[in-house]
Amino acid sequence: MQGAWANVLITGASSGLGRALAEACARPGAVLHLSGRDGARLEDAADACRARGAEVRPVVVDVCDATAMDRWVAGAGRLDLVIANAGISAGTGGNTEPVEQTRRIFDTNVTGVLNTALPAIEAMAAQPPGADGLRGRVAVIASLAAFVAAPGAPTYCATKAAVQRWAEALDASERRRGIRLHAICPGYVRTPMTARNAFKMPFLMDADEAARRTLDGIARGRTRIAYPLPTYLGARVLGMLPIAARAWIFSRMPAKQADGTI
């Protein structure tokens, strides 16, 4: 059950889950506003979406640049669905997490999401409701890492928890304005970002399948869209363990590598 949104904006659309989401939304009559940091990869993704019949308007923009993001979102026109997907991932590599890495992950994964979602919400509030009775939907890409304070990736887990909680809390009030928010919490997805992980990733899924589950959940009106179920349940159980027990378990697992980005 995937929605047929006419006007879609996606950040981080040049590869991985962002590109898969863009291609899944591409169809005749759809207008896709896509952003990424790599112009060549972004144009390749745009061509793939055009081949499916969509009108595509790609823009190279950094989500950390609030002014540029405000300008891009405001100039897009009507928006039915906005997906704040751009993000980066890195861990400690078994050591202390570098200070600059910590700041960079927070800037991209939290501030970058806000730079996408906040202007989108205000733009949607000023537009008339669509055929579904809503003024628009905003989805933020969090992670199942939001539910586990993993010592090997403290900043990544913290940033994903922040945007997951923010979206779920804000959805309750924004519904009154006809705007829905969705917190997307995937497990391991086969992307350039996860390709760097030097450990076994349980229930690893292709980006196309993750995109399908994401869009199905949005279309069904779910506030939290977490998948796959076994990994989600495992994350919830780990998250409820005493801190010392959780730290002991993770001390016997490989840490996420430092300085990884998408």
- 118-146 in b/e form (b: 16+ CB < 10 A) is bbbbebbeebeebeeebbbbbbbbbbbbb
Q: Indicate the number of domains in the chain.
A: 1
Tens of pLDDT along 137-178? 999 999 999 999 989 899 999 999 999 999 999 999 999 999
Domain membership flag for residue 147: yes
Cβ proximity of 262 and 12 under 8 Å: yes
Rounded to whole angstroms, how far apart are CA atoms 53 and 169? 36
Beta bridge partners of 7: 31
Tens of pLDDT along 104-134? 999 999 999 999 999 999 999 999 999 889 9
Domain membership flag for residue 17: yes
Catalytic residue among 156, 188, 227, 232: 156
* Helix (H/G/I), strand (E/B), else coil: 169: helix
Tens of pLDDT along 192-247? 777 677 677 777 899 999 999 999 999 999 999 999 999 999 999 999 999 999 88
- If one counts every other C-beta atom within 10 angstroms of the C-beta of residue 199, the result is 11
Token look-up 């959940």 returns 217
Domain membership flag for residue 237: yes
Kind of pairing between the strands at 55-60 and 31-36: parallel
Domain membership flag for residue 256: no
Domain membership flag for residue 259: no
pTM of the model: 0.92
Annotated active-site residue 232? The verdict is: no
Token look-up 């939001």 returns 146
Domain membership flag for residue 180: yes
Rounded to whole angstroms, how far apart are CA atoms 246 and 161? 17
The residue among 241, 209, 245, 243 whose CA lies nearest residue 227 is 209
State which amino acid sits at residue 19.
R
CATH number, domain of 167, equals: 3.40.50.720
Cβ proximity of 246 and 73 under 8 Å: no
HSE (CB half, 13 Å, CA atoms) of 8?
31
Tens of pLDDT along 32-79? 999 999 999 999 999 999 999 999 999 999 999 999 999 999 999 999
Domain membership flag for residue 148: yes
Domain membership flag for residue 184: yes
Structural domain range at position 166: 7-250
DSSP code per residue over 83-95:
EE--------TTS
